[in-house]
Amino acid sequence: MLNTDDALDTQASVRRANLRRALQLVFRSPGAQTRAGIARATGLTAATASSLVAELIENRLVVEGEQAASTGGKRATTLSIDAEHHLILVVVIQPRHAHLALVALDGAELEVRRVTYSADDRDKVLDSAVAAVAADVGGRLLAAGVQLPGTTDGRSVLESVQLKWENVPLAERFERLLHAPVLLINDVDAEAIAEAGRDESPAGYRLFIHIGGGIGAAVTLDGELAPGPRDRAGEIGHVQVVFGDAARDCSCGRRGCLESASAMGAMLGAEFSDAMDAAELAVLAARADPGQLDDGARALARAVKLISALLDPAEVVIGGPATVLGPRFLESLRSETGYASRGTSQVPVRYADPRVALSAGAAQAALTSALGVRWSAEQLLAASASDA
């Protein structure tokens, strides 16, 4: 009996793996993929490929489209993503407000809601907003991705200084309201996933650095997040990079931390707030002291050079509010990282792509967690651009 059960488990796992392979092929070429194409790409028989597609259609993940161009025989029917049923909820939690987005299965952002709160009523407002989404979309919700500042194991907020949360089982709390699986993801990790998704076939390491009120980093490998075993990867803000008389006091109580020189408050002054909108940031950046920006770039370059020497990343991407600093800061950073250390090569540095939607990274993480597939780069950017 045990051997029979093992065989059944193996057959079921193979079936699930083949369903993911077939679904990913449709996600990669929606409107062009066919049953025959899936059979050829996977090496499965035509009957097995048709069976997989039938199950994907039954589960409202794939839909039949128009007939493909004739190749001399019977014209095949194309397959596309079924964007009319399943939805992914993205909740981007920030200290004073949250951004809630409903994302279709094809990556399109269908609806955006914004709620504001204080530290005292944040839990109540968030629960109410999440419950309202559940009431509106009912059983169509496939999964939810919750993006927030702080460390998380995907289920609980281990620590968030900005939100003043520690060991908060947020995924479980939201699952009771949504009746759908919830994945928590660090905000910088989510941004890194979205940036990696810009490439159709991402290869190697990519270093993403978010600069706002604080500084955090994330590393992706071949497009997938490369977390540490303790869920603390990328916490570089309080690593000391400035020493001696040039070191400034840091909010953590030490001196010379990366954030004390390169966070937005350090470069733009005490007026900076993570709650500022793009217009307010632009005004503040226009008044920035060039010397402060250069000091920030110099300190950041030290961290970038060390990490780059270790990882040999394909590129370094700067995201978050820092993108408002414009070409001058970026060129200063490039200049400071431009020297080739012996045995290393110069690494390209750029700003994050403004076409990528705020919800993209968390939505992608939730989709992968639920179905094991990824959107194509074309889908990600097209969906984001349609919401701009």
Residue 356 has pLDDT above 90, yes or no: no
Residue 296 CA from chain centroid, whole number: 26
Put the strands of the sheet holding 77-81 in their side by side order: 33-34, 77-81, 62-67
Q: DSSP letters along 172-209, please?
A: HHHHHHHSS-EEEEEHHHHHHHHHHTTSSS--SEEEEE
Share of the chain above pLDDT 90, in %: 69
Render pLDDT for 94-151 as a digit per residue (tens, 0 to 9): 988 999 999 999 999 999 999 999 999 999 999 999 999 999 998 899 999 999 988 8
pLDDT over 90 (residue 318): yes
pTM of the model: 0.86
> Buried b / exposed e across 164-177, counting CB within 10 Å, b at 16+?
ebeebebbebbbeb
Q: How far apart are CA 18 and CA 23, in angstroms?
A: 8
Q: CA torsion angle for 113, 117, 119, 125 (degrees, to 10)?
A: -70
pLDDT of 73? 56
Banded model confidence at residue 202, pLDDT cuts 50, 70, 90: confident
Among 143, 132, 125, smallest CA distance to 184 is for 143
**The pLDDT of residue 219:** 92
pLDDT in tens, 41-93: 999 999 999 999 999 999 999 999 877 665 555 668 999 999 999 999 999 99
Average pLDDT over residues 13-22: 94
The model's pLDDT over 263-282, given as tens digits with 9 standing for 90+, comes to 999 999 999 988 788 899 99
Q: What does the pLDDT average to over 314-319?
A: 94
Query: Which is more confident, 363 or 312?
Result: 363
Residue the block writes with tokens 């968390």: 362
* Structural domains in the chain, sorted by start: 2-81 (1.10.10.10), 87-192+357-386 (3.30.420.40), 201-351 (3.30.420.40)
- ∠ Cα 115 132 183 (to 5°): 80
Whether 20 and 372 have beta carbons less than 8 Å apart is answered as yes
pLDDT confidence tier of residue 3, bands split at 50, 70 and 90 = very low
Please report, for residues 165, 317, 328, 351, the alpha-carbon distance to residue 338 in angstroms, rounded to integers and kept in the order given: 39, 15, 15, 16
pLDDT digits (tens, 9 = 90+) for 34-44: 999 999 999 99
Contact 224, 205 (CB under 8 A): no
**Which phi and psi angles does 14 have, rounded to 5°?**
-65, -40
Instruction: Find, among 199, 248, 238, the residue nearest to 221 by Cα.
Output: 199
Measured distance CA(144)–CA(91) in Å, rounded: 8
- Span 212-218, average pLDDT: 91
Residue percentage of the chain with pLDDT more than 70? 91
User: Using N-to-C axis directions, what is the helix angle for 2-28 and 46-58, rounded to 10°?
Assistant: 80
Average pLDDT along the chain: 89
**pLDDT, position 1:** 35
Q: Average of pLDDT values for 348-356?
A: 91
